[in-house]
Structure 1
Amino acid sequence: MPGIFTNMADSDEEYIQDLSNDEVEAHQVTRGAGPGTRASGKSVRRGQQGWEVTRTWENVVEGADGTISSTVEGLLEAGKRKRLLKDTTPVQRGIIRHLILIIDLSSAMSEKDLLPTRYLLTLRYAQDFITEFFEQNPISQLGIIGMRDGLAVRISDISGNPNDHIGPLQALRTQEPKGHASLQNALDMARAALFHAPSHGTREVLLIFGSLLSSDPGDIFSTITALVASAITTTVVGLAAQVAICRTLVARTNPGVPADEAYGVALNEQHFRDLVMHVTTPPITSRTSQPQTNQRGQGEAAEEGDNESSKSSLLMMGFPSRIVEPARSLCACHSRPTRGGYLCSRCGSKVCALPSACPACGLTLILSTHLARSYHHLFPLRNWRDLAWKHVAASLSASAQPPAVHTAPSTRRSLLASPASPPSRRCRRASSGPRMRLARP
């Protein structure tokens, strides 16, 4: 028996000799008996993993002149081509949106294929998404739901203030992802949160899903049917691979939209960000009411559809002005004493910030700038055209020439006096003389 142990020890030494220096250090440290030695071994081993380091300098390609200007120019040209492919056709969009952001907080989000981890990168992009969402849709509302331990956790309620969502997301950085994701529980909670959303706005769900399975307590297909009945559309951003139930979800809740447009899988960090930021653009609305041509005439059904659409085309809103009171008073939204705020145009209740809905009468309170920022989605700007330098030089030379002013022929004296006349005479002529008329060229 002692000889056997000796041979095993010899084989271990031979195995260590074949390892690299990093693996030898990790192997020797982990053989320590004390807890402090094991902890230090873990830190040394974690700090020396080569696959955890992103060597971005190896992805840069030098040009023939030894610089990276060609790579930078290629990235700029790719961005320009992407902007040129953007469709600027004016279409009807839902500018008043009610969106629920569902984030996967399960143990699958601890993977490091997206650096630093899926969990931390998702939280960072979620904060950027919230900021950009309210920049593009200032009169919309948003709520956040998390999935962990087979349950759905409400992170923030539906609100139009981005600070109400960014704060809870930053608090999640101190927690660790754990458990399994429950897609059914999260969708049921999202449907309940959007149940009281008004019919003139959209009902949307954005799901960031990093798992390959869903731990559901019941039939998830009945939940999908309930989402379709509630007119809730879903968009899924996958972090691992396409899941069959997610593809079924987007196919049934987005009629007429290809599944590839509503369900994307992130290839890298930049692609992940592009998929999330794509949801900031309001979706195209379609008429949900189909004319019943089998029971009545085609013209009568079309007229009824137009009447139904015209009934929901007007929405009452209030545009209050900010006031500053000499004494503090309670606001109707948070019941906190404040000196400044906005008074509701209908009932006179005070709210802290805009846009918001009046807690007393429910009137939508916004500013004119909020409405203007939402309105630009309906009539987007046309794409820029590439011009040759000769056309640019010709336009600049034409604009540098002063425009000619044509005056109408008249026998009256001019309003302006000659420079040789005394000041008093100029003033007298200016007060008593007739006005000069300019003819349009």
Structure 2
Amino acid sequence: MADSDGEYVGDLSDDDLGDHHVTSAADGTYGTRSKAKGGPKQKGGGRKAKNARGKAVWEDIQRSWEDVVEGADGLVSREDHLQAERRARLLRDTTPLQRGIIRHLMLVLDMSFAMAEKDFLPNRYLVTINCAVEFVREYFEQNPISQLGILAMRDGIAVRISDLTGNPAELIEKLREWAEQQEPLGNPSLQNALEMCRGALFHTPSHGTREVLIIYGALMSSDPGDIRDTVTSLIADHIRVTIVGLAAQVAICAELCTRTNGGDESKYAVALHEQHFRELFLSATTPPVTLTTEQSNASLLMMGFPSRTLASRDHVSLCACHNRPSREGYTCTRCRTKVCRLPAECPVCGLTLILSTHLARSYHHLFPLRSWVEVSWADAARSTVCYSCMAPFPIESKARLKGKGKAAAGGDSGAVGSNVPKGVSESGRYACEACGNHFCIDCDMYAHEIIHNCPGCQSDTRDSLALAADGDAEAHGAASHAKGDAMAIDT
């Protein structure tokens, strides 16, 4: 029996090892390393032979176990498991609730010594910075008329990275500059960070929400006083706190989130892995449900919808928001001040300047798109391609049909498809309950996370055509009846 690891050959140089080859008992071709393309070692050809060596046998191993995940009912393919994770983010409560679409959020990042841990590769600090940049983009994509500020906890104090602003480019620029210049240092201080957030949110208008999102990686907090007094002040100012932990659950963090969110314990969670951390981080882009009567009452907010102005080639003017020269921008509808991008607040008169598309894009939080349901193989025959992207759907295999027949004969209706994870369609189809069209998993994700509309419902004209056809039929019947009455009168 041949040794699977090959025989040991000592006192050989790297070049000699490249030429050494162990034959297999079966066909004489198996070895620990492939031979050099040049054949036997030639004089002076050691370097060439070394560069020409192929890969080791163990480098081409097919890791088949990575494609299979063990579930509760047996083995599940990794593709189905990933689809189940993607669908789990969509299968949430879609009940229309009153939410505050004008948000004021302070993002607090833990930059203490605990963020140098390497349980998240390359370390917690870099993973948090990358997720924070993605969060800033997604936050303003989902909440274009809101504002965001960033703080850091390090060395026992709270440091302000950026004030409240509605400019995502400015936030990302300052965040990256901070990440390049600073390193994790010292202990975090929850109380100092919360007091600074309270000072930044205290003067925000009452019609908007006041929120604090904390990314916390440590298991302790170096506070100068009693943090429970700060929690009481946060409750009095209607400031809600959400915390995403990276290490383990901390009692004061759970108490802080529960008391500031009206007893809701789901606002504090600990990340299990990097993907879970990203999901928890980005879940804060959804506006919270209004809790106070003051926010629930209707109030008028003055806004301006400026038009874009294009300057001539020879005329360059400064914008009032950054004092930078630019050829184009937007003119305030009240004081005619130029700003470079929207949404923004006029630096001169303080008027909120937005576009109509920004306001319309915020309404999908108030009227969310309903979740689509899984389609079984029994109802999958009426569709062969996705209604939106025209991608072909999988066809039911003969083995599944045969297994279904055996299950029906044996009276076991749950034998077929028992290994499919919860939330994943066995036929690869997902149906909208309103229009009845079938979609693939990619279109399901795109419709619920990006456009927030159903392509089938938006393009469905059957109701109007049916009404038009019914109206024509009724008109034709009335005309025929009138003609018959006229003929009867004539006779």
TM-score, scaled to structure 1:
0.69
Q: 1:322 aligned to 2:327?
A: no
Who is 2:251 aligned against? 244
Partner of 1:281 in structure 2? 286
Residues 13-53 of structure 1: per-residue CA shift (max 9 Å, x gap): xxxxxxxxxxxxxxxxxxxxxxxxxxxxxxxxxxxxxxxxx
One-letter amino acid matched to 1:324: L
Q: 1:349 to 1:120 in 2, by over 3 A?
A: same
Q: Could you tell me whether the CA contact under 8 Å between 2:69 and 2:81 is conserved in 1?
A: no
SS across alignment from 1:242: coil
Q: Which amino acid aligns with 2:371?
A: N
1:313 shift after superposition: 2.6
Separation in 1, partners of 2:376, 2:219: 51
| Partner residue, 2:320 | 332
Q: What is the RMSD computed on CA atoms of the aligned residues?
A: 3.1
Q: Distance in 1 between matches of 2:267 and 2:64?
A: 34
CA distance in 1 between partners of 2:375 and 2:330 (Å): 48
How big is each residue's C-alpha offset from its partner over 1:121-160, in whole Å with a ceiling of 9 and x where there is no partner? 1111111111111111111100000011111111111111
Q: 1:172-206: CA deviations, max 9, x gaps?
A: 33332011111111111111111221111000000
Q: CA deviation at 1:344?
A: 1.1
Q: 2:228 aligns with which of 217, 221, 224?
A: 221
Whole-angstrom CA distance in 2 between matches of 1:179 and 1:332: 39
Tell whether 2:171 aligns with 1:165.
yes
2:160 corresponding residue in structure 1: 154
Partner SS state of residue 258, structure 2? helix
Q: Which residues in structure 2 correspond to 1:78-227 (within 5 Å)?
A: 78-84=85-91, 86-174=92-180, 175-227=182-234
Q: Quote the Cα distance in structure 2 between the aligned partners of 1:59 and 1:236.
A: 35
Pair 1:63–1:128, CA change in 2 (3 A): closer
C-alpha displacement of 1:391 = 4.3
CA 387–349 in structure 1, closer or farther in 2 if over 3 Å, else same: same
Query: Deviation at 1:57?
Result: 5.5
* Kept after mapping to 1: 8 A contact 2:98/2:296: no
Whole-Å separation in 2 of the counterparts to 1:288 and 1:242: 32
Pairwise CA distance, 1:340: 1.1
- 1:71 aligns to 2:78 (yes or no): yes
| Aligned residue number for residue 349 of structure 1 | 337
1:75 shift after superposition:
1.7
Q: Please say if 1:359 is aligned against 2:364.
A: no
Report the number of matched residues: 330
Q: Distance in 2 between matches of 1:336 and 1:63?
A: 55
C-alpha distance after superposition, 1:284-341 (max 9, x if no partner) = 002346xxxxxxxxxxxxxxxxxx954x432111111110123222222122232211
Q: Bigger shift: 94-103 or 246-255? A: 246-255
Deviates more, 1:142-151 or 1:322-331: 322-331
Structure 2: stretches of 5+ with no match in the other structure: 1-61, 385-436, 438-459, 478-491
Measured in 2, the distance between the counterparts of 1:183 and 1:313 equals 34
Equivalent residue number for residue 415 of structure 1: none
Three-state SS of the structure 2 residue aligned to 1:335 is coil
Answer yes or no: is 1:265 the counterpart of 2:270: yes
Measured after TM superposition, the shift of residue 77 of structure 1 is: 3.3
Q: What TM-score, normalized to structure 2?
A: 0.62
C-alpha separation between the residues in 2 aligned to 1:58 and 1:130?
A: 38
Q: CA deviation at 1:59?
A: 6.3
Deviations, residues 84-138 of structure 1 (Å, cap 9, x unaligned): 3x11111000100000000001011101111111111111111111111111111
CA distance in 1, matches of 2:147, 2:225: 30
Give the SS at the match of 1:370.
helix
